[in-house]
Amino acid sequence: MTVHSLAPRPDQYSYVFGGREPLLGIRPGDIVEVSTEDCFGGRVTTPSDVPSEVVPFAELNPVSGPIEVEGAEPGDVLAVHFVSIVPARPHAISCTFPLFGALTATHETAMLHGPLEERVWFYDIDLDAWTATFRAKNSDYSLAMPLDPMHGTVGVAPAGGEVRLVVTPSTHGGNMDTPEARAGTTLYLPVNVAGAMLSLGDGHARQGEGEVCGTGLEAAMNSVIAVDLIKGGATGWPRLENDEFIMSTGSARPLEDAFRISQRDLVGWASDLTGLDALDAYQLVSQLGLAPAANVCDPNYTMVAKLPKWALKDAQAYGGVHDRLRSAAEEYMASR
């Protein structure tokens, strides 16, 4: 088991997917300990810092990477297993951001309203209790809630020579902002360029489905990932797998198109795994599927389509790579 470490210097963070030189080269099967900054690049340090003033717009949502994976070629699938995701600071930060979020006018849903109040919440993180504590700004309500750390932004270099801002999720992954991207889960990404060029960031100590206000509990993270490569396993869209579910994603607007993409992909995946024809797989997914929102605030919205693995009987996605990575993760954790 080869273990790498990636801790970018401030000037090494990336704000795009594609078009960047790798910070690290690894081989399939390797493990990477990676530190990621919060979506504010660490610039919001007190509750009185105004995010839109202290963070230049072009420096929101830094990602750590890219990581070049030896042997990865277009048409392959990159498997990224989240071994562990642990908040790096004793606080996480959430805020409303001007003209961003699901319940406000935005640059795309353009209106004549001015922005909502820009409000910042600091949550105390208690790693021992595994909680974050919400404190209301306008009353004395406080509430401890369980941590459920995840990475909002994980992706590879896009196809066709595109370079995309980190904020936009699409076929290459990116800012999908799904709470499903938690430790114990494997993310499958299509490889579009040699080396895949994986980057990740935008840790959330937890996040509700839909990321309604536009931010989760934004937190720098100390994370560990295990990376593998499936040769020739081409997938059109990012997929996820945990011990219970296979999951497809779709990122698009309007939200029903994100839904359609995710469901269409899940129907195809279930058909591949079970031998059901398209309509029989459509039926199976229709009766057993779950369909939570991931984000309804980013430039593309993301929906997740989930099918319980027991519905697949003995079939295993991608030759059982999830189980192998799960074992490798346990081995790594045991060795620390």
The answer to whether 302 contacts a copy of itself (rule: CB under 8 A) is no
Give residue 202's Cα distance to chain centre: 8
The answer to whether 174 contacts a copy of itself (rule: CB under 8 A) is no
The answer to whether 263 contacts a copy of itself (rule: CB under 8 A) is yes
The answer to whether 48 contacts a copy of itself (rule: CB under 8 A) is no
Question: Strand, coil or helix: what is 93?
Answer: strand
Q: Before 254, cis peptide (omega within 30)?
A: yes
Give the integer Cα–Cα distance in Å for 332 and 168: 32
271 to each of 14, 45, 230, 262, 315, how far by Cα in Å?
Answer: 38, 49, 19, 14, 11
Closest separation in Å from C-beta 290 to a copy of itself: 5
Q: Which of 9, 11, 48, 313 binds a copy of itself (CB under 8 A)?
A: 313
Q: Which stretch binds a copy of itself (CB under 8 A): 36-44, 81-89, 226-234, 292-300?
A: 292-300
Q: Which of 36, 84, 94, 242 binds a copy of itself (CB under 8 A)?
A: 94
Instruction: Specify which residues 222 forms β-bridges with.
Output: 35, 86
Q: Which stretch binds a copy of itself (CB under 8 A): 4-12, 38-46, 195-203, 247-255?
A: 247-255
Query: Hey, how many other C-beta atoms are within 10 angstroms of the C-beta on 320?
Result: 11
Q: In what order do the strands lie in the sheet with 131-135?
A: 91-95, 120-126, 131-135, 142-146
Closest separation in Å from C-beta 150 to a copy of itself: 12
Q: CB-based burial of residue 46 (10 Å sphere; 0-12 exposed, 13-18 middle, 19+ buried)? A: exposed
Q: Which stretch binds a copy of itself (CB under 8 A): 42-50, 63-71, 191-199, 276-284?
A: 276-284
Closest separation in Å from C-beta 231 to a copy of itself: 22
The answer to whether 210 contacts a copy of itself (rule: CB under 8 A) is yes
> Residues 63 to 92: which contact a copy of itself by CB under 8 A?
none
Q: Under a CB-based contact definition with an 8 Å cutoff, are residues 105 and 93 in contact? A: no
Q: Which of 99, 200, 221, 285 binds a copy of itself (CB under 8 A)?
A: 285
Taking the CA atoms of 69, 70, 74 and 78 in sequence, report the sign of the dihedral they define. Answer: negative
The answer to whether 141 contacts a copy of itself (rule: CB under 8 A) is yes
The answer to whether 217 contacts a copy of itself (rule: CB under 8 A) is yes
Give the integer Cα–Cα distance in Å for 208 and 137: 19
The answer to whether 288 contacts a copy of itself (rule: CB under 8 A) is yes
Q: Which stretch binds a copy of itself (CB under 8 A): 193-201, 205-213, 227-235, 321-329?
A: 205-213
Q: Which stretch binds a copy of itself (CB under 8 A): 141-149, 226-234, 238-246, 327-335?
A: 141-149
Q: Which of 7, 127, 129, 143 binds a copy of itself (CB under 8 A)?
A: 143
The answer to whether 152 contacts a copy of itself (rule: CB under 8 A) is no
Q: Contacts with a copy of itself: how many residues (CB under 8 A)?
A: 88
The answer to whether 113 contacts a copy of itself (rule: CB under 8 A) is yes
Closest separation in Å from C-beta 222 to a copy of itself: 21
Residue with tokens 């370079």, as numbered in its chain: 163
Instruction: Specify which residues 67 forms β-bridges with.
Output: 24, 198
- Reading the block at residue 24, the tokens are 């690290």
The answer to whether 282 contacts a copy of itself (rule: CB under 8 A) is yes
The answer to whether 116 contacts a copy of itself (rule: CB under 8 A) is yes
- Reading the block at residue 261, the tokens are 């993409």
Convert residues 5-44 into a mask of x (bound to a copy of itself by CB under 8 A) and - (unbound).
Answer: ----------xx-xx-------------------------
**Side chain identity at residue 260, one-letter code:** R
**Side chain identity at residue 116, one-letter code:** L
Q: Under a CB-based contact definition with an 8 Å cutoff, are residues 80 and 329 in contact? A: no
Strand-strand pairing, 3-6 and 301-308: unpaired
Q: How far does the chain reach from its first CA to its final CA, in angstroms?
A: 12
